[in-house]
Structure 1
């Protein structure tokens, strides 16, 4: 009997090796970099496509999440965090505060990639030729800064602002840079600025009156990958959803591209800049297209039903893409046929298909995704609330959902107002009524789930991580009586204390969402904060938290937990040595085991 036969199916799903979409060197596309959990935690791997050799690049106690390969394929850059501890020599892995390191593609010692730049939060990196790099950084003291790094010289600061900004794109000839910024104070709708590498202004692209918050947002994908071509591929929201345009900052010319597709798109260049690769997202599923710039022809590329989790066009014109569905684990495929890279080990067991539910809510039709166990309902049901809030749930493989289905639960995921993928009006709708807007949509779907016979009203679990953890705690207080218990991972629990301790970029996001700082609009923060409603919580609560988390810091969680203790509410807290979640497979399994055990002990029985 194999060991896998003795391991619960849900654990096999978490342990099964998986790979990310590879990032390849622009000028040496046989050299690729990808993430994998093969070692038991997510690390970076180099892949030489000529020889087939795959080599683990990083090996850190809590994994490594950020990396890039230089255009010539000679260097791998990776981000080393853990510099945020106030105690000397005490590492704080997962705090996202650190420095860029680099290592030769073939292997060898690591070295600091940008000597002279102090530790900071990363806000973008782009690598040019001959060792040139442009590094974006964020700190509480300096706000957002952009630095040009050249070998043998001190870094040069070419941009600085208190509001959020980051590095977006570098031209092929290393002369032009695009910075995405929110100098106007609205991080949900950034603007673009093109500069030369000495910081001098070339052009601004801003969808609104200069100096005022824009009507819609702009995002830069990249410059055309042709030497001397100054065109930039951009996404805009001018028609109420994400669509593409091409902007030339040297001439000011804009080429609007109306694809005629019903959903929202992400775009990238083909390597010869003759076409763009389109990832079309609609109703929580996605597909790929090739758009020919010369003729305006839009060609659909064959992909299975489900979700494309990332895609890139190779020099030979084929497209590699990472795909999965609710039933099937992720696969790295090519439009040329077959799978591209199969990690060693057993493939993850599959799960059940995802069903769609459309529920009329106070702000319009709400899309929910349902995963249903075998048998006849009503079922105990987990409402698994996604994070972000600028994200959404889709028809893709999710081990955290499948574990509940294995245990006889239905799982409902709600793409509430604030979610991406349903247009600008939907994603913007939560502003200045943060948390409560999302809960209205969750309540509407909850009512549908009960009335339809799917969900047992006495056995409903509210669960989520990050923003989903925040909505879980808020929901347990605001919608007391609707839920049997709550599971909150890395949540916002005390909004004011969270604002005080979180990274600078999230402070800016909170000011955008809520309409100011806690000093400026204290009543709005009180209205949005779970700790305001903690006296109403009357069901068991399980909270997990990373002690080094810079996004949902530990102090504000401890404030909330202390109030639960004072009130005598049944609760358990699991603290682990990492940041905003864990990249270690066994740590993630440990957390799920604790949640399963908590639910088994505290959920009412029928």
Structure 2
């Protein structure tokens, strides 16, 4: 359901959705990589090649050993962690698990790699660690029982801070010192998470939602014994609740400035908060849309990430002079960026038409995986439609030929997320098969201001579907979409909106494809991980027992008897976000009245990190659509 990673660590590069075995992943110059015809090879169509082509995340690097890096790759067919010694060029596979691994952190000295070990994608586990050069895994925080992750931060003296979330305890945060037993320094029923450790390791910044609004965090800085140093809470003193987020302590010993994000002017933007004096420095960076930032390694400047209308770009900001300088990147989406000690910037970039690459401001490609290159796809067109809550932004990809086309409305998850001009293999597969694809940044999406995101409350699901309906009407009236061949599709929250839309708008859709969806909201609430229960209480104003009418109005199960379109559902049997029992409740209701449906269950969690499994799921969806839309 949620889009944000629970454990922190590596940049997300997947589309969802016994270790230490060595495996080299040598970089290959782009000129040596095999060319791929636009339509794919005779034995492998282009859409499958986009999934199978090796991909890498933006490499993370150790703060005090910048030549030691960690990244995620699907080079073996499963997304796993890899170590990279940038001085020698040597690369080594760190993890090797059937369902993949993506959450990893380097210690500041680069000596150890921490990685989160769950069971078959259930997100419930413990932190393990492995020497950077290879060797056996061992518990990274002995004495801590398995849990859902709530962040982790590693200090220079070997001290670690580990956040945990369980149904029994809510959120707990522990300090783990070398050779010592874990010490609990924080506990609360509501959701919270580890933000960052100060450079000297004496101060810890936390994000918490003790006020009960899981969408808007407050901040607290504590010593490692748990005593409070200072607090910042923008949810107090007004009817509008404003969120804060930790972006990082200054990377300089003795510097007590904390870079944070705030929403005081109706969007996300950064400011500096000196936690020793309480002084707040408003940076007032004059760019439209959401603005985030991180420190340059010497603390002299900020690397600013600017997101606006489904595209992003980078800037360098000097807090002393207020000078803002553009960091040149191509048009498209930067999904991660980092400034290196020499002042260069490395970033993961893509567009809807061009596959992702890790680039540098030096002009070179930083990390080029071996094997075939992914074929490109068609670019996106911007669509703006007037809706009941304001202008709605949608992204359109058209196949070759003249419309109207069979059209897939591919609805993003989150719900606090947004679709952007970024490469995505699944939408490209539909375009290859002659479908137009429309992605809608409905109310609740990020990137269009706080009011647009926060509009998603109480009438959950129904609000988003009003916006999707407005774009659907435009698509038909403009001649893009064939009204008899409209497909509602999505994963996670998008899967939820798919099932809800099939029941509340039965005459509008010819087909539904729902992956890892919320299907029975009440059962989902009782079975899901604790952090998502807190989000649901925020969105709907309470528990199912406190506001039963809202859960009933927003649950797809309420409208299942009205569903007339064929519906395909896929679900992970170990999913902690959209658990399997509530999916089965919905499927049983479909089956009881003989509704046309198919269900695919797979042994993983909230999506799959296995490339062939993901291809299988897309192939099943394509085949289902072909059978029922002929």
Q: For 2:512 and 2:608, how far apart are their aligned partners in 1?
A: 20
**Map 1:333-352 → 2, pairs under 5 A:** 333-352=359-378
TM-score in terms of structure 1 length: 0.97
Q: How far 1:202 moved relative to its partner?
A: 0.4
Give the superposed CA RMSD.
1.1
RCO (CA 8 Å, sep 6+): is it higher in 1 or 2?
2
Match of 1:138 in 2: 165
Q: How far 1:532 moved relative to its partner?
A: 0.2
Counterpart of 1:71 in 2: which secondary structure?
coil
Q: Which moved more, 1:506-515 or 1:265-274?
A: 265-274
Match of 2:565 in 1: 539
Match of 1:187 in 2: 214
Q: For 1:563 and 1:539, how far apart are their aligned partners in 2?
A: 14
Runs of 4 or more above 4 Å deviation: 1-4
Match of 1:373 in 2: 399
Match of 1:20 in 2: 57
Q: How far 1:437 moved relative to its partner?
A: 0.1
Partners of 1:75 and 1:102 within 8 A in 2: yes
Q: Which runs of 5+ in 2 are unaligned?
A: 1-33
Q: For 2:205 and 2:277, how far apart are their aligned partners in 1?
A: 15
Question: Quick check: 1:149 aligned with 2:176?
Answer: yes
The counterpart of 1:56, out of the listed 93, 98, 104, is: 93
**Map 1:28-67 → 2, pairs under 5 A:** 28-67=65-104
CA deviation string 1:324-375 (max 9, x = no partner) = 0010000000012111010001110000011000000000000000000011
Match of 1:87 in 2: none
Q: For 1:266 and 1:309, how far apart are their aligned partners in 2?
A: 12
The counterpart of 2:263, out of the listed 237, 258, 270, is: 237
Question: Quick check: 1:416 aligned with 2:442?
Answer: yes
Q: For 1:129 and 1:267, how far apart are their aligned partners in 2?
A: 23
Q: How far 1:209 moved relative to its partner?
A: 2.2
Q: How far 1:54 moved relative to its partner?
A: 0.5
Match of 1:447 in 2: 473
Q: Which moved more, 1:127-136 or 1:507-516?
A: 127-136
Q: For 1:161 and 1:481, how far apart are their aligned partners in 2?
A: 46
Match of 1:327 in 2: 353
CA deviation string 1:524-583 (max 9, x = no partner) = 000000000001001100000000000000000000000000111100000000000000
Question: Quick check: 1:504 aligned with 2:530?
Answer: yes
Q: For 1:175 and 1:377, how far apart are their aligned partners in 2?
A: 62
Q: For 1:459 and 1:143, how far apart are their aligned partners in 2?
A: 46
Q: Which moved more, 1:547-556 or 1:4-13?
A: 4-13
Match of 1:315 in 2: 341
Match of 2:6 in 1: none
The counterpart of 2:285, out of the listed 259, 268, 271, is: 259
Q: For 1:251 and 1:258, how far apart are their aligned partners in 2?
A: 21
Match of 1:280 in 2: 306
Counterpart of 1:63 in 2: which secondary structure?
coil
Counterpart of 2:135 in 1: which secondary structure?
coil
Question: Quick check: 1:123 aligned with 2:160?
Answer: no
Counterpart of 1:289 in 2: which secondary structure?
strand
Q: For 1:484 and 1:74, how far apart are their aligned partners in 2?
A: 55
Q: For 2:239 and 2:206, how far apart are their aligned partners in 1?
A: 17
Q: Which moved more, 1:258-267 or 1:312-321?
A: 258-267
Q: How far 1:130 moved relative to its partner?
A: 2.6
Partners of 1:189 and 1:214 within 8 A in 2: no
Partners of 2:409 and 2:487 within 8 A in 1: yes
Counterpart of 2:533 in 1: which secondary structure?
helix
Match of 1:516 in 2: 542
Q: Which runs of 5+ in 1 are unaligned?
A: 83-92
Q: Name the CA shift for 1:449/1:425 in 2 (closer, same or farther; >3 Å).
A: same
Counterpart of 1:329 in 2: which secondary structure?
coil
Match of 2:14 in 1: none
The counterpart of 1:298, out of the listed 309, 324, 331, is: 324
Q: For 1:455 and 1:445, how far apart are their aligned partners in 2?
A: 11
The counterpart of 1:568, out of the listed 590, 594, 607, is: 594
Partners of 2:235 and 2:243 within 8 A in 1: no
Q: For 1:138 and 1:345, how far apart are their aligned partners in 2?
A: 40
Partners of 2:71 and 2:82 within 8 A in 1: yes
Q: Which moved more, 1:54-63 or 1:262-271?
A: 262-271
The counterpart of 2:241, out of the listed 205, 209, 215, is: 215
Q: How far 1:4 moved relative to its partner?
A: 4.6
Match of 2:199 in 1: 172
